[in-house]
């Protein structure tokens, strides 16, 4: 770190090695449109940053969470779970310290987090209860020397944040934002793509898949986030037989089935739902006159999951214990099964085929 940068960030607090101890009341949240929620700050005679007169400090509220969540927030995080914020606040209260440093950006009269939004919210929650956690450590990066907010976003897309890599949903949110900003700046989609890949090192295939994911509606992305893995999502996007809208329907139906059955929305389940949809679009069944039935006349196949190994083992043990076996000649045996057991065996065979 240069002496100029070190001197710049020390105006925000006292130095501890590369970490700066800051007062979280100096922090504001940046929004996607470039506006801020929180106070402006300025340098005082003591050589430190302070909240400017008549500025409103951040206070914890559901309105604040809503203001910085989803497409509104500059942060890549799409949603904030109130219960998780409360759990984090409890952990901070128990330890008396926020162990993981905040990653803050200093831009003129604003100090805002690039990483650590939930920690700031947890601190604000405790402060609203009259509990002040002192000595909050931070790594502060000033926007000087030509460094821009877009550069920070490219950095997050390449390496993630300090605490975690970005999910495909986070990346999709940033790409949507970049395309919107680039259109306003007069760039074509091709120019935006070239600039993006040059800055992030992404390959075209990864960009194209994430771009298609970014085109999905916000309600769909919100409904499947944390429920459908990135690998499963990318595999579905590769299916050229389905439109974007149909892919969204597959994902939503998969999540609904998984929730109803109390199972995970696995890649196998997504593939099964997708296969049913593709078959319903391309029927090969004929009616009584020999004509191909339209898709809307066909009943979609029920989704059948491959039986688990433990279920197969249990079925085989049941067959041995409940089957009435008797030898009919030297080379063959006859086994009587209860009808329900035989039907279950047939079902397993069909699901394994």
What is the structure's pLDDT at 314? 76
Burial of 225 (0-12, 13-18, 19+ CB in 10 A): middle
Torsion of CA 271, 275, 276, 280, to 10 degrees: 150
Higher pLDDT among residues 304 and 236, named by residue: 236
pLDDT in tens, 271-322: 889 988 887 776 555 555 656 555 444 444 555 667 777 777 777 777 777 7
Over 50: is that where the pLDDT of 330 sits?
A: yes
Residue 21 has pLDDT above 80, yes or no: yes
Query: What one-character-per-residue DSSP string does 151-207 give?
Result: HHHHHHHHH--SS-PPPHHHHHHHHHHHHHHHHHTT--HHHHHHHHHHHH---HHHH
Distance between CA atoms of 321 and 337, rounded to whole angstroms?
10
What is the mean predicted confidence (pLDDT) over 192-215? 87
Q: What is the mean pLDDT of residues 204-232?
A: 84
The mean pLDDT of 184-207, rounded to a whole number, is 89
Residues 6+ apart with CB under 8 A from 250: 236, 242, 270, 273, 274, 277
Mean pLDDT for 196-211 is 86
Q: Tell me the β-bridge partners of 16.
A: 19
| pLDDT at residue 22 tops 90 | yes
Residue 290 has a pLDDT of 54
Write out pLDDT tens, residues 61-79. 999 999 998 778 887 666 7
Percent of the chain with pLDDT over 70: 84
Query: How many alpha carbons lie under 13 Å from residue 125 in its C-beta half-sphere?
Result: 21
Kindly tell me if the per-residue pLDDT of 35 is higher than 90: yes
At residue 297, the pLDDT reads 45
pLDDT above 60: residue 216: yes
What is the pLDDT, as a whole number, of residue 33? 87
Residue pLDDT, tens place only, 102-144: 989 999 999 999 888 999 999 999 999 999 998 899 999 898 8
| Spatial separation of the C-alpha atoms in residues 218 and 62, rounded to whole Å | 20
pLDDT the model gives residue 224:
87
Write the DSSP symbol of residue 341: H
H-run or E-run covering 51: strand 49-51
Burial 47-86 (b: 16+ CB within 10 A, else e): eebbbeeeeeebebeeebbeebbbeebbbbbbebeeeebe
Q: Which residues have C-beta within 8 Å of that of residue 233, sequence separation ≥ 6?
A: 168, 213, 224, 251
Average pLDDT over the chain, rounded to an integer: 82
Angle, helices 117-128 vs 82-95, to 10°: value is: 70
């Amino acid at each position: 770190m240069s002496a100029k940068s070190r001197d710049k960030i020390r105006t925000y607090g006292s130095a501890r090695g590369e970490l700066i101890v800051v007062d979280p009341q100096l922090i504001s949240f940046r929004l996607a449109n470039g506006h801020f929620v929180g106070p402006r700050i300025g340098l005082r005679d003591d050589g430190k940053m302070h909240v400017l007169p008549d500025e409103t400090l951040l206070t914890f509220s559901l309105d604040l969470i809503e203001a910085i969540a989803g497409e509104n927030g500059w942060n890549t995080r799409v949603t904030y779970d109130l219960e998780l914020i409360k759990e984090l606040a409890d952990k901070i209260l128990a330890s008396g310290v926020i162990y993981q440093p905040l990653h803050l950006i200093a831009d003129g009269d604003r100090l805002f987090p690039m990483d650590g939004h939930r920690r700031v919210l947890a601190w604000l929650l405790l402060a609203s209860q009259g509990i002040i956690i002192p000595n909050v450590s931070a790594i502060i990066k000033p926007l000087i020397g030509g460094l821009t907010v877009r550069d920070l976003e490219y950095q997050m897309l390449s390496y993630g944040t300090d605490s975690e890599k970005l999910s495909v949903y986070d990346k999709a949110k940033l790409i949507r934002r970049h395309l919107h900003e680039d259109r306003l700046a007069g760039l074509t989609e091709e120019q935006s793509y070239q600039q993006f890949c040059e800055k992030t090192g992404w390959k075209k295939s990864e960009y194209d898949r994430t771009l298609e994911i970014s085109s999905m509606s916000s309600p769909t992305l919100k409904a499947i986030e944390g429920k459908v893995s990135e690998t499963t999502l990318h595999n579905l996007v590769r299916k050229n037989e389905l439109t974007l809208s149909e892919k969204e329907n597959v994902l939503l139906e998969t999540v609904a089935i998984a929730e109803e059955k109390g199972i995970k929305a696995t890649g196998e389940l997504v593939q099964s739902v997708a296969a049913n949809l593709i078959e319903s679009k391309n029927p090969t069944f004929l009616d009584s006159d020999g004509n191909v039935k339209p898709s809307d006349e066909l009943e979609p196949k029920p989704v059948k999951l491959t039986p688990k190994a433990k279920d197969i083992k249990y079925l085989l043990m049941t067959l041995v214990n409940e089957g009435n076996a008797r030898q009919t000649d030297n080379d063959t045996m006859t086994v009587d099964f209860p009808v329900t057991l035989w039907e279950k065996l047939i079902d397993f065979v069909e699901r394994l085929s």
